[in-house]
Amino acid sequence: MESGKMMPLPTIMVDRCPIPARGGVGANIHNIYRNYPFYSINPFCVKIFRFTIICLIILIAFGGCNWHKNRLQVDVSKINVPEVRIHRYDQDLFRIPVTDLKDGLERIQHNYYFFLGTDLNDPGKLDEMKAYLENPRNIDFQKASESRYRDLSRVEKDLTEAFRHWKFYFPEVKIPRVYSYISGGDYTNPVQLADSVMIIALDTYLGKDFKPYLGDGLALYKAERMTEDNIVPDCAREIVSAMSPESTAPMTLLGGMVEAGKRQYLVEALIPDLPGYLRMDYSKAQYSWAEKNEPHVWAALIENRLLYSSDGQYFRMFLADGPYTMEFSKDSPPRLGEWIGLQIIRSYMQKNPEITLQMMMQETDAQKILTLSGYKPEK
């Protein structure tokens, strides 16, 4: 095998929780009973015994993957967090006639001081706002957002739950006031968190069929993620990013994977009830591929001796975003190193219940985390 080349992945044919096959344990139950000393004396008791054994086998077969309760399934019903209301700066701003701009801005300034905390008597500032409101691109984005998001109640409900989980784990945090606005296509910052304010660019969640996205040269895989379903996961990622900035210190691939896994585990802590594929920013098919091929991705990392490499090409291969991971399959998701890192952190946290989220964030020894996790994916 050439250096740096990834081993081909065999087709996965085995489920993670197999049911006993015909001819295995279940098929031999009758023979066990025939050798039981009281078989001929009390057939009724034997039938009960047989039924009990079969039930136990079924329970083991179907429940074998869920012996341990997920630590992140917590009760937040008593966490005192106000119901989220998204303040529609996008709507209120674009309803102001440009012919009455100064007076209109003054009427809404007290509600949107984060955006309008400036001197409205400054002609230059008013000219900038007039240019923004009359820009055809911004007008198109606003009209599409207004049509698509007449109601944000589902987003508000899920965001309230995310904030409750945030407060549960970090009681000292201040829950931000949430606004929506039109960014004019700020695709790199769909959600921003600044102090006590969170702003959501609704024009970055208009779906893959919104023509300006592709006209702007946006990659299709990115446009496919720009939907209402992705708003709350993006909010969770922004919270986590503010809590744990990415390290710029040199590290091995294992270190990068573990750090990415930590951030993803925090996202899961904030939104445990949302689907895993949304938390990972994958499609459903990509998430399924990652679950099925986890042992083989791990084997490729081990057999190619990549875990302790500091080579940038492997960081890009396993941690950079993209449509898929080229070295595996077009059906694979990107950021497979982040996926494996998440599995390591899940195992680490599950096997070490005394470790809190805060302690996990502060632990910088990736090898220690891997060792204590006992991570070994099932084949």
Rounded Cα–Cα distance for residues 250 and 305 (Å)? 18
Asked whether the predicted pLDDT for residue 212 surpasses 90, the reply is yes
Q: What is the DSSP string of 235-251?
A: HHHHHHHHHSPPP-S--
Average pLDDT, the chain: 85
Please indicate, yes or no, whether residues 234 and 287 belong to a single structural domain of this protein: no
Q: Give the pLDDT band of residue 219 (cuts 50, 70, 90).
A: very high
Share of the chain above pLDDT 90, in %: 78
Please indicate, yes or no, whether residues 350 and 257 belong to a single structural domain of this protein: yes
Please indicate, yes or no, whether residues 308 and 348 belong to a single structural domain of this protein: yes
327-339 confidence digits (pLDDT tens)? 999 999 999 999 9
Q: Report DSSP state, residue 283.
A: -
Give the up-direction half-sphere exposure of residue 320: CA atoms within 13 A in the CB hemisphere.
11
Average pLDDT on 130-142 reads 97
Please indicate, yes or no, whether residues 206 and 229 belong to a single structural domain of this protein: yes
Q: Which of 243, 266, 283 is the last residue of a domain?
A: 243
Q: What is the pLDDT of residue 3?
A: 38
Tell me if 34 is assigned to some domain: yes
Please indicate, yes or no, whether residues 108 and 191 belong to a single structural domain of this protein: yes
At residue 16, what is the residue type?
R
| Structural domain containing residue 50 | 26-63
Q: Which of 202, 219, 243 is the last residue of a domain?
A: 243
Query: Coil, strand, or helix at residue 366?
Result: helix
Tell me if 8 is assigned to some domain: no
Rounded Cα–Cα distance for residues 252 and 263 (Å)? 17
Q: What is the pLDDT of residue 69?
A: 59
Q: What's the token pair of residue 318?
A: 């396993």
Q: Give the residue ranges of DSSP H helices in the chain.
A: 29-34, 43-63, 89-94, 101-108, 113-116, 123-134, 136-148, 153-169, 211-215, 220-223, 231-243, 253-270, 276-280, 284-303, 312-319, 336-351, 357-362, 366-373
Q: What is the pLDDT of residue 40?
A: 39
Backbone angles phi, psi at 325, to 5 degrees: -100, 110
Please indicate, yes or no, whether residues 208 and 275 belong to a single structural domain of this protein: no
Please indicate, yes or no, whether residues 228 and 366 belong to a single structural domain of this protein: no
95 or 245: which carries more pLDDT confidence?
95
* Number of independent structural domains in the chain: 3
Asked whether the predicted pLDDT for residue 7 surpasses 60, the reply is no
Please indicate, yes or no, whether residues 303 and 170 belong to a single structural domain of this protein: no
Rounded Cα–Cα distance for residues 277 and 284 (Å)? 6
Q: What is the pLDDT of residue 6?
A: 53
Rounded Cα–Cα distance for residues 298 and 65 (Å)? 19
Label residues 345-360 b or e (16+ Cβ within 10 Å = b). Answer: bbbbbbeeeebebeeb
Please indicate, yes or no, whether residues 277 and 196 belong to a single structural domain of this protein: no
Do 360 and 259 touch, CB atoms closer than 8 A? no
User: What is the model's pTM?
Assistant: 0.81
Average pLDDT on 33-49 reads 40
Please indicate, yes or no, whether residues 150 and 294 belong to a single structural domain of this protein: no
Average pLDDT on 194-217 reads 95
Please indicate, yes or no, whether residues 102 and 173 belong to a single structural domain of this protein: yes
Average pLDDT on 359-377 reads 96
Query: Coil, strand, or helix at residue 44?
Result: helix
Q: Which of 225, 243, 261 is the last residue of a domain?
A: 243
Q: Give the pLDDT band of residue 70 (cuts 50, 70, 90).
A: confident
Please indicate, yes or no, whether residues 305 and 354 belong to a single structural domain of this protein: yes
